[in-house]
Amino acid sequence: MTDSIEKKCLANGVKLTDQRRTIARVISESKKTYGEADHPDVDELYKRVSNIDPKISIATVYRTVKLFEEAGILTKHDFKTGKARYELNDDHNHLIDIKTGEIIEFVDEEINLIQKKIAEKHGYNLVDHRLELYGVKKK
Ligand SMILES: [Zn+2]
**Ligand 1 centroid to 34 CA: how many Å?**
12
- For ligand 1, the distance from its centroid to the CA atom of residue 48, given in whole angstroms, is 19
Residue 41 φ/ψ, nearest 5 degrees: -90, 180
pLDDT in tens, 83-106: 999 998 888 999 999 999 899 999
CA 124 to CA 112: how far, in whole Å? 15
- Quick: pLDDT tens for 25-39: 999 999 999 998 899
C-alpha 70 – ligand 1 centre gap (Å): 18
pLDDT of residue 1: 47
Separation of CA 117 and ligand 1 centre (Å): 23
In the predicted model, what is the mean pLDDT of the chain?
A: 92
State the Cα–Cα distance between residues 93 and 112, nearest whole angstrom. 10
Q: Which residues of the chain have pLDDT under 70?
A: 1-3
Tell me, what's the pLDDT at 131?
92
Distance 129 CA to ligand 1 centre (A): 13
